[in-house]
Amino acid sequence: MICLGIESTAHTFGVGIIDNKKVLSNEKTVYIPKKGFGIIPRDAAQHHSENGLEVLKNALTKANLKMGDIDIIAFSQGPGLPQCLRIGAVFARTLALKYNKPLIPVNHCVAHVEIGKFSTQSKDPVVLYLSGGNTQIIAFAGGRYRVFGETQDIPIGNALDMLARKMDLPMPGGPQIDKLALKGKYFELPYVVKGMDLSFTGLLTEAVKKYKQGVKSEDIAYSFQETCFAMLAEVTERAVAHTDKEEVLLTGGVAANKRLQEMLRIMCEERGAKFFVVPREYSGDNGLMIAVTGILHNKPISIEKSKIKQKWRVDEVDIHD
Ligand code: AMP
Ligand code: MG
């Protein structure tokens, strides 16, 4: 079974191809916003529509395949920015109709979890899913992925990007903050955990205020990371205790952060849990994660049912019907 997966929820347009469990290709192009701006949905969608075909061609060439060799076409149906989702959906529908292939809808958050499990061989982890658009602590229970904790306001990746922009750093901001933090010293920032949920806006406002007061960028970057990551580690630890699971998996774009990995590794060692991190090449949005999920949850839909689902939550997806 060969699956072609299409990702287009936000900044990335990606096409990945997998033959059962054998990765054949994973090509992408990433929209980078203008300096000082976040993602402008219309511009990102324009970028995807202008570059999508090239990405598809590259993915097929790398896999040494033609469209006729593909068995199923999977696409990110949501959640995401509607303008961007629509480009991927139109792309997938067009290919499915033209080449007469089954069309498989994939939930983008489930795909981040599945690529994490696929690439690390973890079996049944508590998943810390951290990206530009999402921050959730997820675990499989009773036939679906359930959310044990999540942000009540902005996602962690978004918070890091916004802080970087306020400090005049280029996008994406996460890696910039990561680098700066290596030279920073700690000062206290608001630590906001409410039950199993988290909040990052107060912390962001305070950090920006300190920057405007002249506190060094390095110290802000370090203290911001230490505070956010401690909050995330606390909630993850409680989810592990509550669910009795023996594995923790870190996935999504922010998983690339070494300090976050270190903090979670220590927490897992202390609890006797196994710790897994999605490899860097699969941590950010990509087409392969959609292809992997398309193979695992192969439930074709008609073109009529393929409308995008902008707010499709991970816990609304039936894994076993
Ligand atoms: P995604 O939405 O899953 O593609 O992830 C993108 C997010 O990951 C952006 O907010 C980036 O700033 C963030 N990111 C990427 N690398 C790092 C890093 N090393 N440390 C923290 N955040 C990162
Ligand atoms: Mg993502």
pLDDT digits (tens, 9 = 90+) for 166-221: 999 988 899 999 999 999 999 999 999 999 999 999 999 999 999 999 999 999 99
pLDDT score for 108: 97
State the distance from the centre of ligand 1 to the C-alpha of 8, rounded, in angstroms.
16
Q: Are 45 and 11 in contact (CB under 8 A)?
A: no
pTM of the predicted model as reported, rounded to 2 decimal places: 0.94
Q: Using a 6 Å cutoff on CB, does residue 79 contact ligand 1?
A: no
pLDDT score for 251: 95
At 77-87, the pLDDT tens digits run 999 999 999 99
Distance CA 82, CA 229 (A): 30
Per the listing, tokens 């690439």 go with 119
Q: Using a 6 Å cutoff on CB, does residue 80 contact ligand 1?
A: no
Mean pLDDT within 92-117: 98
Distance CA 112, CA 278 (A): 9
- Ligand 1 pocket test, pick from 254, 257, 286 with the greatest ligand atom count within 8 Å of Cβ, gives 254
Ligand 1 atom closest to 252 (CA): 3
Between the alpha carbon of residue 114 and those of residues 78, 108, 139, 182, 282, the distances in Å are 15, 10, 12, 31, 11
Which residue puts its alpha carbon closest to atom 11 of ligand 1?
174
The yes-or-no verdict on residue 321 having pLDDT over 60 is: no
